[in-house]
Amino acid sequence: MDQIDPDELYDEREDISRARPLLQGDVFDGIVLPGFGENPRKVQIVAHPCAMRTGASLSPRITVAPIEPYRAITGKAWHGHPRVMPLAELVSGKHFAAMFVDITACPVELLTKERRIATLSNRGIFVLQQRLIKHYTRAETELEVLRSQSAPVLTEAELLWDWLETVLSDLEIDDDDLLAVEAEVFEEWMRSGSPSRQERLRAETNHADIRRDAQRAAVERARTRQAEK
């Protein structure tokens, strides 16, 4: 299995953009997880992005792994420990790991953006997927295979993130209802066309064109909203 340094593992820590959609690998703190006692704990989303949503709406329950303190995993040690996802230097330089043996479903309303303390880079997500596959099947999958399979959904998530930050003001991004409404607008835009933009994302050769079109559409959407105020 592949190893990854903390600087490459995380996309953001502590100060997480509220416009970033919830994704596989996101870490939350202060979660009272059903079936795990009354003490708040850290958890990591392990569900694939496609399994977390129906359209723009999050599923009522999302698969997570509880997080526990864990020793630092370095070098060849990454080839072991298949039951965990190491999370080095997660908080204040301290090391943790997501425990695959305790994976469970978490009510989505507990996974608020205020409780999100870390997100993974794309490569970090692929390493998480690789370790999940190893845990459940003992098969090893190359990161490039996982990258190519995840490219459409991760690109769409990045487009949504950019769209929200372009269309909404900083004050509006603090409003969950406005974020949800604008995510629906983006989803409708992605599903339009024949084939739809969402379908076209399956081919990486289309990604640059769709990214350019999304940027233009977001700017136009921002102008329209401003004119309506």
Whether the pLDDT of residue 206 is over 80: the answer is yes
Give CATH 2.30.30.110 domain extents, the chain.
6-141
When the pLDDT of each residue in the chain is averaged and rounded to a whole number, the result is 95
pLDDT tens for each residue of 26-38:
999 999 999 999 9
Q: Decide which of 79 and 55 is more confident.
A: 79
DSSP letters, 32-98, are --TTS-SS-EEEEE-S-HHHHEETTEEPSEEEEEEEEE-----GGGGGS-TTEEEEEEEETTEEEEE
pLDDT tens for each residue of 6-31:
999 999 998 899 999 999 999 999 99
pLDDT tens for each residue of 82-133:
999 999 999 999 999 999 999 999 999 999 999 999 999 999 999 999 999 9
What's residue 79's pLDDT?
87
Q: How confident is the model at residue 193 (pLDDT cuts 50, 70, 90)?
A: very high
Q: What letter would DSSP give residue 221?
A: H
What's residue 74's pLDDT?
86
Whether the pLDDT of residue 56 is over 80: the answer is no
Location of structure tokens 């079936």: 35
Q: What is the CATH number of domain 6-141?
A: 2.30.30.110
For a pLDDT cut of 70, what percent of the chain falls above it? 100
